[in-house]
Amino acid sequence: MERVVIPAGEGRAVEVRAGRVLRIEAMDGLQVADAAFVALHNHREGYHAGQTVALNMLAGTGTMRRVTTLWSRPPYERPMLTVIDDPVGVHFAWNGGRCSRGVYAVRDGIESGHRTCQDNLEEAVRPWGMDPDLVPDVFNVFMFTDVEDERRLVFRPSPARPGDYIDLRAEIDVLAAVSACPSDTSATNGGAPKPIALEVRATDDGDEPGPGG
């Protein structure tokens, strides 16, 4: 129905109506996509990583690394999207973070000038008149991160191969902002950012989307 190619190191956003499916594809593999989701009709209702992990673990539908249902933050606290197909099976679900000026300063000693996922997401939602302060937690797709010795965050290469994808069905109308992570200072993207493709599809059974809010 709609396909958008995000150039390496940039960000884009698409509307996904309730009942439709968002596919996020690692076109060339070895690339992380940071996805931020907000309710299309209320930008204050955004995805919350911590609540998503907690509720999936309480329901027995996920772990700290891999979840089934993506929840919005309290006080809204309702399912936003459901993972319906996930061949790679690697997320960084519990963190909700993305590369930012702070990350580059602390991790790499780069004080300014490096492109960030935060920059990409702010720019992606601008056409919808969204306050950049409302960009919520992100769902780190295809990201492989470890914690060593309970204190050291380690970024490993994304396991995504060319054409790998994840499919998420929207449970409400959402605005999906996605950054093709620009990191070239860690192993995350194999040292070189690559493009990400977004596709908005009808459900496989051909059903039209239901009402969303």
Q: Mind listing the pLDDT tens digit for each residue in 46-64?
A: 999 999 999 999 999 998 8
Strand ranges (E), the chain: 2-6, 11-16, 21-26, 33-39, 42-46, 69-71, 79-85, 91-92, 139-141, 144-148, 152-156, 164-170, 174-180, 196-201
pLDDT-derived band at 211 (thresholds 50, 70, 90) equals very low
- Residues 63-121 have pLDDT tens digits of 888 899 999 999 999 999 999 999 998 766 667 788 877 787 887 788 777 899 999 99
Residue type, 124: A
The predicted pLDDT at position 57 comes to 95
Q: What is the mean pLDDT of the chain?
A: 90
Picking from 38-47, 184-193, 202-211, which range would have the lowest pLDDT averaged per residue?
A: 202-211
The predicted pLDDT at position 209 comes to 45
pLDDT over 70 (residue 130)? yes
User: Where do we find the tokens 């606290």?
Assistant: 77
Q: Give the whole-angstrom CA distance, residue 22 versus residue 25.
A: 10
pTM attached to this predicted model:
0.90
DSSP string of 81-130? EEEEE-SS--EETTT-----HHHIIIII---S----HHHHHHHHHGGGT-
The predicted pLDDT at position 213 comes to 57
- 3-state DSSP call for residue 12? strand
- Percent of the chain surpassing pLDDT 90: 69
Q: Give the whole-angstrom CA distance, residue 59 versus residue 14.
A: 30
- β-strands 139-141, 69-71 pairing: unpaired
Shortest CA distance to 164 belongs to which of 28, 6, 12? 28
- Tokens representing 154? 């380690």
The predicted pLDDT at position 157 comes to 86
Strand partners, 180: 33
Q: Cβ(116)–Cβ(210) under 8 Å?
A: no
- Tokens representing 138? 């992100």
Q: Give the whole-angstrom CA distance, residue 66 versus residue 64.
A: 6
- Residues 154-172 have pLDDT tens digits of 888 899 999 999 999 999 9
Q: Give the whole-angstrom CA distance, residue 56 versus residue 176.
A: 21
pLDDT-derived band at 153 (thresholds 50, 70, 90) equals confident
The predicted pLDDT at position 208 comes to 47
